[in-house]
Amino acid sequence: MTDPIADYLTRLRNAIKASHRIVEIPASNIKKEITKVLHDKGYIQNYKFEEVGPQGTIKIALKYNPATKQNAIVKLSRVSKPGLRKYAPKNELPRVINGLGIAIISTSKGVMTDKEARTEGIGGEVLCYVY
C-alpha cells in the first residue's frame, strides 16, 4: 500500500456513506494518533485498539445525529500525499472553513490539530482536513 493514511480516510468516508455504525481499519501508530485527535475533537463517538495478529486493528464507532441521521464528519480530504508532501511553517498553518473544521498536522511533538500547533508555535506536515 502506497498511502496508508489515504486508505484510512477512504475507509472512514465509505463507512459514512454506507451509514455504518462501526468501521474496522488496520492499525499503525500514525492512524492511532489521528483517531485520538478525531475523538478528542468530537468527530467520532468512540474507538478501540485491538492487538490481533501482527498489525492489529482500530475499531471506530462513528457519530451520527439521532434526529437527522447525519454524520458528524461532513468531509475528509487528504492534503499531503506521498508524491507531494505539504508542509506549513508555524505562521502559515491552514484554517479549515475559517476555524470551523480542523487540519490534522504531524509535528515534531506528535500529531495535533492546527489550533494546537498554533498555540505550541510549531509547524509540520499537513496530513488532512476534517469538517
pLDDT score for 56: 96
CB-based contacts of 107, cutoff 8 Å, min separation 6: 117, 120, 122, 123, 124, 125
Q: Which domains does the chain have, with CATH numbers?
A: 4-62 (3.30.1370.30), 76-130 (3.30.1490.10)
Q: What is the mean pLDDT of residues 7-22?
A: 97
> How do residues 37-49 score in pLDDT, each as one tens digit?
999 999 999 999 9
Q: The whole model's pTM is what?
A: 0.95
Q: In which element (H, E) is residue 63 found?
A: none
Dump pLDDT digits (tens) for 112-126. Answer: 999 999 999 999 999
What is the rounded distance in angstroms from the CA atom of residue 34 to the CA atom of residue 32? 6
Q: Which helix (H) or strand (E) is 46 found in, with range?
A: strand 44-50
pLDDT category at 75 given cuts 50, 70, 90 is very high
